[in-house]
Amino acid sequence: MTGSLAALVLASACFLVIHVLPSTAARGRLVARLGEGAYRGLYSAISLVLIVWMSVAYGAVVPETVLWDLGAAGRWCGLVLMAIAFVLLIAGVGTPNPTAAGSERLLQKGVAARGIVTITRNPIMWAIAIWSAAHLLNNGDLPSLVFFGSLGLLAIAGTMLIEARKARAFPGPWKELTAVTSNVPFAALLSGRGRFSLGGLWWQAPLGLVFYAAFLHGHAWLFGVSPLPL
């Protein structure tokens, strides 16, 4: 079901609901019945179907009203934000992180925070949130507000849901980790609670910028619109 704003809202709502599931008691019941591996496989498959539905529904809606237009200023801000998002994404993928799915053993072992984790415990989620903000700056219509806004809201709320689940499952190790790191980027460092560790950032940050440059170059071909302000 696509082609209308209602379809996009429904797809977005379903996507949000499925991502709240892991933070409820239903997750435990499903894992007990299906097993951890089967649950994760099913959850991933449903999430993939829903994000495809969201994307198709978004592409099928014709915007009728422009709510805001920041012009070249929005484009320049978007370019900077997307560079940050790519660095966070690549560093998040390339760094062992106790908050990541399936990485509970890192918490149990008390592995010290390194690299991007000393900046934020949830780099990938913040990358998605920043990606969402960059696109909202430059797409001031209602369908874009629903699409990018839903994903950005889920990313930020997701950091809190993930952390609440980890805190319940591993109260001791989680307390030790949160004493020296933060969810909000740089919060622990600025407050003096944490200490920066370069870790793999020496190669992850440049690699993130390389991926960003490649994606920027192909954006018009992939999506039919150039993000450049020129």
Q: What are phi and psi of 214, to 5 degrees?
A: -65, -45
Residue 1 has pLDDT above 70, yes or no: no
Give pTM, 2 decimals. 0.93
Place of tokens 């009203």: 65
Per-position b or e across 65-85, b if 16+ CB within 10 A of its CB: eeeeeeeeebbebbbebbbbb
CA dist., res. 106 & res. 176, Å (int): 12
Written as six digits, the tokens of 146 are 């629903």
Tens of pLDDT, residues 95-146: 999 888 777 788 877 777 899 999 999 999 999 999 999 999 999 999 999 9
- Per residue in 160-184, pLDDT tens? 999 998 898 899 999 999 999 999 9
Whether the pLDDT of residue 36 is over 90: the answer is no
Contact 50, 15 (CB under 8 A): yes
| Measured CA distances, 168 to 31, 81, 121, 165 (Å) | 17, 33, 17, 5
Would you say 72 and 33 are in contact if contact means Cβ atoms under 8 Å apart?
no
pLDDT of residue 2 exceeding 70: no
Q: What is the pLDDT of residues 14-32, one digit of tens each?
A: 999 998 887 777 888 888 8
Q: In whole angstroms, give the CA distance from residue 74 to residue 79.
A: 9
Q: Distance between CA 178 and CA 119 in Å, rounded?
A: 12
For residue 88, the number of C-alpha atoms closer than 13 Å in the C-beta half-sphere is 22
73 membership: H or E segment, kind and range:
helix 71-94
203: Cα within 13 Å, side-chain hemisphere: 5
| Percent of the residues in the chain that have a pLDDT greater than 70, as a whole number | 99
For the chain, the domains span 1-62, 66-223
